[in-house]
Structures are given as C-alpha cells and as structure tokens.
Amino acid sequence: MRIEELKSKLSYILNNTKSISLFLVLQDNSKISIKKADIDNGITTDELNKMFRDRLNEIISNDELSLINLSTADERCTAIYEYDYNEYPGKMSYINDFDIKQAVYYDNFSFAHDNLNSLIGYMIYIGDMTNGVVCFKKHYPISVIKRGTFLIHKCNERFEKMDTDDIIRLNSDISLFKLDDKIFIINVETIEKHLGFEELIRKRADTALSAIENKGIVEDMSELREASHDLSFSKKLSKIAGQSLIITKSIPNEKVIEFSRNHPGLKNKFTYNDVGNKIILKTKASKAAFLKLLNDDFLISELTNQSYDSLAKDRI
C-alpha cells in the first residue's frame, strides 16, 4: 500500500462514520481477554471520539510521512511501518484477529468481577459495522491512579481532598492500527518490548546469519554471531534476511570485495584473509560497515557521480 492510499482510507472512515468503541485488554497470567468499556454517552464519548480522531487526522495531514515495510524499518522519525511478516507473535494475535462484528458481543468490563490490575492495553474502534479502523494503545500501570491515593483538587480558592475510585488516565498515543486486515505500526519500540516482536527479530537475524555463512564471504562467523546477541545489531541483521540484494541476486564475492576495497565509504573498514577472498570482522565498526555493505547502503548519484551512504532507500 502507498501512503496516499492509506491516508485516503483513513480520511474516508473519519468523514463517513461518527462512532467510537473502547475495549479493555486484560491479561490474567498468560490468558488474554477483551472486555467492552461501557462509556457514558455525551461529553465522555464525544471527548474520547474527538481525541482519537484528531490523532488519526494528524497522520492524514502529515505531508512528510512515509509508509515502508516493517521488515526494512530504518531510523526515520516520520514513518509508519506496514507489517509484512508472514507470522505474528502470540501477543499480537488478538489484535490481528479483532473483528468488530464479533467484538460487539463481548462482555462488558465489570468492576465487580474484573480487575484493572490486569489491564495491559486498549482497543479503540473508530467506524461503523462496515468500515472502521482498530487502534491499539499500550497501557502502563502508571496510567492508573489507584483508589486510596491521596488526591487534592482546587475547590473555590482552596485545595480539598478528592475521594474517588480508581482513575484511568488516557491520552491519544497509539502504538499501531489495523485497517483492511493490515497492521500499521507507529511505535516500533512498543511491539518489540511488549508484543513479542523481539522473538521474530532474533529469528530473522538467525536466518540472515545462515545466509551470510552460505555466501562464504566472512572468514569467521563467530564474531557476527556474538554481536547478534545485542538486539540493536539483531534488528540490522533482520533487515538482511530476504532483503539484501547482494545475497538474493548472488552478487559474486569477488565483486563485493573489490567494491569494499575501493568505495570511499568503505576503504580501510575491513581486513582480509591472506588469499584476499574473505572479509575479516574484528571490530564493532567493521561489523556495522559490513551490514551496511550487505544492505547496499553505499550509492552513487547518476547525476553528480557523488557517493552517498544512504540510510533510506525507497525503491522506485
């Protein structure tokens, strides 16, 4: 999907639907359950609706926003990532499986039988029974003000103790949303830390290590394997799995090594074995440069003949 199409679909939903539904995601040990939040109609519903619709409108109005595949995620700040992996972590399955036509029959959250201590997230559905977008918001314990907390508030010109039950603090920050059976990630860190995506990253990193080993261009793979224990390095490795044209197009090792010796961005980054047909990776800088080499980050402008180290490479 292109960013223009995504914005168009979101715009259609926001302009042609009026309602919002809030669901609470609860976790008891390893069991996940989703309960409807019975929201007071009127100001509460209207303000909630406006808050999350305004957040989606921010996406629509951001002209600098890019849409790229999650498997090729880079450090761009103005990007949304389309989930393009073939599998979902177990902790994301309830998001992927969410269907408003079934969700309307979920039980309401019960203050008598359910516990806010089990709350781990929110599902916000904006739309009608035909068209809609499902937003996921991570819940953090700090967002609940527990009953018994000493609270004071302004009363006339004095501070007065406020007695209340548990209070949930909500803002419009959402981590991802589901539209037309596709998931779009806004906050990658959330899915890595809280939704089990780290497991997929490490799995793809292992796939990349195997592909590099099969290519036979590295003298000692143990250095890369040791570096892969670090998550940030594994993330860079995971981009190579199935994405590196150096590997998928079977670019000859001799051509790769010649390029690494002569390109201004790679000169003196590596050492080579005595025969000169394999790269030796000993330093942190050499390992980082090697991954950039496999990602084909070193480009030359056809117009100016200038060499670049390009982080973002949106294919034309």
Render pLDDT for 285-312 as a digit per residue (tens, 0 to 9): 999 999 888 888 766 655 556 666 555 5
- What is the end-to-end Cα distance of the chain in Å, rounded? 14
Residues of the chain with pLDDT under 50: 316
Q: Is the overall model pTM greater than 0.85, yes or no?
A: no
Those residues whose C-beta lies under 8 Å from the C-beta of residue 32, and which sit 6 or more positions away, are 25, 26, 94
Residue 24, strand partner residues: 35, 122
| Angle (nearest 5°) at CA 311 between 199 and 277 | 80
289's tokens: 């440069």
Dist. CA 278–CA 254, nearest whole Å: 9
Dist. CA 194–CA 184, nearest whole Å: 16
pLDDT digits over 61-119, tens only?
Answer: 999 999 988 887 766 678 899 998 888 888 888 999 999 999 999 999 998 898 888 99
pLDDT of residue 316: 44
| Angle (nearest 5°) at CA 76 between 84 and 268 | 100
